Every structure is written in C-alpha cells, then in structure tokens.
Amino acid sequence: MLCFIGPHWSKTTREGTVITEKFAALELAKQERILNAALEEFAEQGYERASTNRIVKKAGIGKGMLFYYFKSKRELFESLIEYAISFVVNEYLNRIDDEETDFLEKYRQAAQCKLKAYTKNPHVFNFLGSLFINREIEKCKEMENRVSEVRKTGYAKFFNNIDTSLFREDVAAEKCIKLIHWTIDGYEKDIISRLQGKNLSSVDMEPFWEEFFEYIAILKRVFYKNKHACKE
C-alpha cells in the first residue's frame, strides 16, 4: 500500500504540511475515494477554479467532513502533491531496474513502469502533469523544490551504471548520452506543449506511449553499434 495512506498520513512532512490523524483514521477505500476525487478536480480545473463542492460530491461526503480532515483548500492541495510524489516514487521510480546497464533499454523499461503506474492511478499523473503544463507548481515554492528533488533522483537512476561499450565507437559515449538525454527531454517538452490547455483526464495517452517507444528504437539505431541496435 502507498506510504502516504494509513498511519503515515499522521506525520508532518519536512515542508511542514500536517497530514491529520483524522484522515488517517478513515478506511482505505474512503481515503482513496476522497483523494481521487480531489486529484481529478484539481487536474481538470486547476487550483483557482477547483471546487471543494464538486470534490465532496464526487467523493460522496459532506463538505464539513472534508474540512474536518483538511483545514483548507491549500492544505488539501499541498497534501495531494505529497501524496502524488509518494505514489510516483513507490510505483514508478523505485521499480526502475538499477542493474540495467543499457541506457536506452533503461529508458524503455522505465516508460513501461510508468505506464503500469499510470494505469493503476491515472489521476495522480494527470494531476502532476497539469501542475507542470499549467505551471501551477510554481505557485508553491516548497512543493516545487520537493518535486525538483524527486526529479533529480529519477534522473540519477538513468545516468548511473551505464555500459558505454554499447554506443558507436566513432562518437564519444558521453556525447551519445547527452544527445539522447536532450532528445528525450525535448520530446517531453514537445508533449507538454501539445497538451497545453487540455484536460488530461480526457486525453488518450496510448498514442504518446507508442510514439515514445518508436523514438527509443530509432535512437538505438542511430547511437548504438549495429548488433545492439537490432535488438528491440
């Protein structure tokens, strides 16, 4: 079970946001119903337009109960960010194979891990995606720093323990790694641009995953020795 559900919700985060024991005392199914309703609302409407009335209606609870668990809309919002970060770390980043030495294979496997995590709870990824696409994460500097740290941890997983012998001999391995990283980073920015202003919960992400895997195969053909590039 996710580390921010259950007893852990009663702890104070290092940013100072208190996750109340009142919410932790709820049965897990009800916790998840409230969290998913809130994640969906903030992802679709953004922080300013998000309605606690719609959240409680979707969650099937009274509005007074929501503010019994969370003191304010801001506290709920920041709690959701911490919850989403925890989900991503546990269900995605921690599942990336640290022993994989093939740089592009690690990217491919990581994408598959992310797809599984997305399938398990798309609300989390839609919520985090909307924070970046609409730049709402910038409204909360502490949370922005927290997300930045997690992203750095994720990047470190990709750049450690790389077998440079897989790359072409006529191009320096470190240059291949940088070019691949810049390409994938640019692709990510292109996706963000294409999704700007869209409701992520209504977007079919499958074509984006298929497109990404195609690019990984192309990058292997470009930067790997032929015998490795042929392995799909």
pLDDT band at residue 18 under the 50/70/90 scheme: very low
Quote the radius of gyration of the chain (alpha carbons, Å). 20
Give the separation between CA 50 and CA 194, rounded to whole angstroms: 23
What was the pLDDT predicted at 115? Answer: 80
Residue 5 to residues 86, 121, 136, 149, 204, Cα–Cα distance (Å): 10, 14, 24, 22, 28
- In the chain, pLDDT over 70 holds for what percent of residues? 82
- Give residue-wise pLDDT tens across range 106-164: 888 888 888 888 888 889 988 988 877 767 666 666 667 777 788 788 778 878 889 99
Contact 91, 6 (CB under 8 A): no
Instruction: Give the bridge partners for 167, in sequence order.
Output: 224
- Give residue-wise pLDDT tens across range 57-77: 999 999 999 999 998 998 898
Instruction: Give the bridge partners for 12, in sequence order.
Output: 18
Q: 50-67: b or e for each residue (b if 16 or more CB lie within 10 Å)?
A: bebeebbeebebeeeebe
pLDDT band at residue 17 under the 50/70/90 scheme: very low
What was the pLDDT predicted at 119? Answer: 81
- Specify the residue for token string 């009335």: 53
Q: Can you tell me the mean pLDDT for 11-35?
A: 69
Which segment of 2-16, 158-172, 198-212 scores lowest on mean pLDDT?
A: 2-16
Residue 133 to residues 22, 85, 91, Cα–Cα distance (Å): 33, 16, 22
What was the pLDDT predicted at 41? Answer: 94
Q: What are phi and psi of 18, to 5 degrees?
A: -90, 125
- Give residue-wise pLDDT tens across range 167-177: 999 999 999 99
Q: Can you tell me the mean pLDDT for 82-93?
A: 88
The chain-wide mean pLDDT, for the chain, equals 81
